[in-house]
Structure 1
Amino acid sequence: MAPLQTGNRKREVPAPQEAAAGSSSPGSAAVDADGLQTPKKPKRLAARRSLVDYLKGREVGARVRAGLPGFDGELRSFAVRKLPELLRERELSLGTIDKVFASQWLNARQVVCGTKCNTLFVVDVQSGQIMRIPLMRDRGPPPAHAEPGCGIHAIELNPSKTLLATGGENPNSLAIYRLPTLDPLCLGDRHGHKDWIFAIDWMSDTVVVSGSRDGTLGIWKIDPDVFQSSIAQHSDAGLPVYAHIRPAEVEDVPRAGTNPGNCKVRAVAFSAKRQELGAVTMDGYFHLWKVQNTLSRLLSIRLPYCRENVCLTYCDELSLYAVGSQSHVSFLDLRQGHQSVRHLCSREGGTSVRSLSFYEHMITVGTGHGSLLFYDVRAQKFLEEKVLVSQHASPRPTGRRFRLICGRGWLNPDDLRMNNFGVLGELPNALYTHCYNWPEMKLFVAGGPLPSGLRGNYAGLWS
């Protein structure tokens, strides 16, 4: 690999006398106040720095020179482009749980996951050990004719990583846990949503938003100190040791005239930089609110591809939303005076988009066909496979999209026979969730079979 240079030319640093005089020739001498000539200091050439030089210097604690302010960014950009080619899979065994829908890194070796079978657990990616987390229960009994639960579709950590938000035993409820202990803190139940929670995001360390299938957004304000006193009183009375809360605000999502009953909130994403909240609904719309003391709706856009819009992510650096649908990823740039929507086709052999994430200028696409794709937003193209033509030449792009193909995971064989799905090899896993641990260059990916009638799971650590 050729060294990564910080520029094409060497820079000359003028001596202090030269800077004052402005037009001294290279061989001239400076004259001081007494009229004596003093030899001028020779000019020094700035050292050329390669990627190897930089990494070696960082190992011994050397500081980045002031003359290279963009080198860290250049290094990150290079790592983002190269990492997918270096990743190798190690499958993790999850037993017989059904479909992992959500995941987040807790620390360097633990990932917390939520499943369709309503299980919340932590997996140690080094040892493979699994620890289940008890779910919080509503105060009242469930309705007599309640639908079967949909499981846990969202898990999010607040910016300081001191609180975790997810679903409760009742998928309509919002559960908050303390970190790093995962002790239960509070539950938003009877005064919150009337249907399943599909999406969660933190707007600050103490304010979290939830999006529900009932077509509403709930804004919750979390004060751990207030809840702690309430928990102490309940504990003394022998009641559950977590507080029950109600939302500070409930916002109805606009209903389209063509399909007013299908405004189910499927995904949300918050822009801290612009203080805006985006949401995607199942009727094929993207909605945007300004976040101040309350939510103030800015606009609603009909998406160009409206089937199965199930995931949404946002990149603060690029001011760009990305929406994943059955066959495309749509990019929305909604800055004032610069509103545009463009899309790219993600379809490959029945592929659908099931999970999305941004890092720097790279978007990772988890598909319903068991593969991961990588799209470079700046270059406006997917990463391509490369082939080594000769030992003395760099690998050349083939024109085919680079993909990481995930393993088979576990499938319940009884379901296969009952549903006549054929052999195991014909059923790749849908990658419903993935999350990066960038400091250690690791990627956790999880999911399960796409058909709802099949029970199964997949989890893998790519490093």
Structure 2
Amino acid sequence: MITKSKHKDGLCGSSREQLHARIGRELFLYTQRRELGCRNFCYTNPHRIVDDYASQLMPQLFQEKEYRLGQINKIFSSQWLNTKQIVFGTKCNKLEVLDLNTGNLDHIPSLKSSNNSVPASCPCGIHSIAVNPSKTLLATGAENTNDLAVYKLPTFDPVCVGERAHNDWIFDICWLDDEFLVTGSRDSHLGLWRIDGFDDVDSSPLNSLQVPEYSITSPLLVKECTDARKVRALAYHDERKELAVLSLNAYFHIWDVETFKMVSNSFLEGGIRSVSFHEDIITIGTGTGHILFFDLKGGKYLESGCGSFLWHWFLGPKFQLHDENYMGFFMHQYNQEFPNAIYTHQYDDSGTRLFVAGGPLPAGLWGNYAGLWS
């Protein structure tokens, strides 16, 4: 459902109109100079002009296609596999591939750790899925939620399970290149891994027709993230060779990946559930079921109409399981349905489709939401 909320200042969106007018002039000048045969165009990349304009308009053009996923509990993470498939991980520790055309689900078996691995207490699902740059490997959580699992793409053949880095849930995974990746955990530590040859490491205890044999490996390095209380999110800047680390006590840390040392940290305020970049638009998923769009060039949220309203989407309750926990506590105390937190959202390569997923924010509620906006 698409809704609008009143903007605080109530001003007309003159800056937005000026931006649209500027982009329109740029397109006109480019086409005129091209027709006149001018060699030196004002812009060497005309696609960027169109992309800027499209990224401004796209959120207002999206329409929702919702998927019914049964009694899956809370979708925490997702990644595009190709133009018609999404892989996602859930709080109930399921790894599923969703066919966006048919709505069918294919279950991917979780990889078991060795007997030497000590599982985290109170396991809580698959919080992260990451695909390497060449799209040949996928990393996520293993059956023990403090261990790493790596699969080959597109077949999902198991490659390895990574152990002995964390004693609590893996919250996020970030590839540095096609071989090296970093895991961030609820235990406030970072693990550096190399996913390469496995001829000299232990073999898995499981060997069956359903799950082929795979390797057991250990991290290259494990380091504590100083001042962090539970590492929650990771992002890598390839040109700067820096890793951004966000912790649950609202600290933002910068690590040098070549030395694997922290170089700075700072305190932030506020909180969100998911964030992504597309061109100059930041898409933000909240715990209240809202998706907001922030324009980096304009320095404000996208607006609707004359600018007196913020443009955003609001997701209703969708599927929620009315089990004994809901009936005995939430229904009588709150007497309401709860909106779904947007735990994950991912644009496809074209930027014209956005997969959005999540579930009810209270830990005691069981439910899910998954939708394709295009």
Same fold (TM over 0.5): yes
Partner of 2:10: none
Deviation of 1:374 (Å)? 0.1
Residue number among 226, 240, 252 corresponding to 1:254 in the alignment: 226
Deviation of 1:285 (Å)? 1.5
8 Å Cα contact 1:178-1:185 kept in structure 2: yes
Residue number among 333, 344, 349 corresponding to 1:433 in the alignment: 344
Partner of 2:162: 188
Does residue 419 in structure 1 map to residue 329 in structure 2? yes
How many angstroms apart in 2 are the aligned matches of 1:216 and 1:232?
Answer: 25
8 Å Cα contact 2:74-2:368 kept in structure 1: yes
- Superposed, 1:20-419 pairs within 5 Å as 46-47=34-35, 67=41, 68-140=43-115, 147-189=121-163, 191-223=164-196, 225-226=197-198, 241-255=213-227, 263-292=229-258, 294-303=259-268, 305=269, 325-326=270-271, 353-386=272-305, 396-397=306-307, 399-414=308-323, 415-419=325-329
8 Å Cα contact 1:5-1:48 kept in structure 2: no
Deviation of 1:252 (Å)? 1.2
Deviation of 1:406 (Å)? 2.1
Query: RMSD in angstroms over aligned alpha carbons?
Result: 2.9
Structure 1 residues 244 and 66: CA distance shift in structure 2, 3 A: farther
Structure 1 residues 283 and 371: CA distance shift in structure 2, 3 A: closer
How big is each residue's C-alpha offset from its partner over 1:252-274, in whole Å with a ceiling of 9 and x where there is no partner? Answer: 1113xxxxxx6211111111010
Structure 1 residues 5 and 302: CA distance shift in structure 2, 3 A: closer
Q: Structure 1 counterpart of 2:160, which letter? A: C
Structure 1 residues 10 and 129: CA distance shift in structure 2, 3 A: closer
Where 1:80 maps in the other structure, the secondary structure is helix
How many angstroms apart in 1 are the aligned matches of 2:355 and 2:335?
Answer: 23
Structure 1 residues 116 and 70: CA distance shift in structure 2, 3 A: same
Partner of 1:4: 24
Deviation of 1:77 (Å)? 0.8
How many angstroms apart in 1 are the aligned matches of 2:156 and 2:200?
Answer: 14
How big is each residue's C-alpha offset from its partner over 1:233-269, in whole Å with a ceiling of 9 and x where there is no partner? Answer: 9969xx96010000011111113xxxxxx62111111
Residue number among 445, 450, 454 corresponding to 2:365 in the alignment: 454
TM-score of the superposed pair, with normalisation by structure 1? 0.69
8 Å Cα contact 1:136-1:175 kept in structure 2: yes
How many angstroms apart in 2 are the aligned matches of 1:202 and 1:124?
Answer: 25
Structure 1 residues 400 and 295: CA distance shift in structure 2, 3 A: same
How many angstroms apart in 2 are the aligned matches of 1:97 and 1:450?
Answer: 14
Structure 1 residues 46 and 91: CA distance shift in structure 2, 3 A: closer
Unaligned 5+ segments in structure 1 are 13-44, 50-64, 256-261, 306-324, 327-352, 387-395
8 Å Cα contact 1:186-1:227 kept in structure 2: no
Deviation of 1:10 (Å)? 8.7
With a CA cutoff of 8 Å and minimum separation of 6, indicate the structure with the bigger relative contact order.
2
How many angstroms apart in 1 are the aligned matches of 2:207 and 2:29?
Answer: 70
How many angstroms apart in 2 are the aligned matches of 1:188 and 1:299?
Answer: 28
Structure 1 residues 48 and 175: CA distance shift in structure 2, 3 A: farther
Q: Structure 2 counterpart of 1:421, which letter? A: M
8 Å Cα contact 1:165-1:177 kept in structure 2: yes
Deviation of 1:154 (Å)? 0.4
Where 1:427 maps in the other structure, the secondary structure is coil
Q: Structure 1 counterpart of 2:230, which letter? A: K
Q: Structure 2 counterpart of 1:154, which letter? A: S
Structure 1 residues 240 and 284: CA distance shift in structure 2, 3 A: same
Q: Structure 2 counterpart of 1:107, which letter? A: N
8 Å Cα contact 1:284-1:302 kept in structure 2: yes
How big is each residue's C-alpha offset from its partner over 1:96-136, in whole Å with a ceiling of 9 and x where there is no partner? Answer: 01000000000001000000010110001110000110000
Larger Rg: 1
Deviation of 1:284 (Å)? 2.4
Where 1:416 maps in the other structure, the secondary structure is helix
Deviation of 1:166 (Å)? 0.4
How many angstroms apart in 1 are the aligned matches of 2:262 and 2:249?
Answer: 18
TM-score of the superposed pair, with normalisation by structure 2? 0.85
Deviation of 1:211 (Å)? 0.4
Q: Percent identity?
A: 41
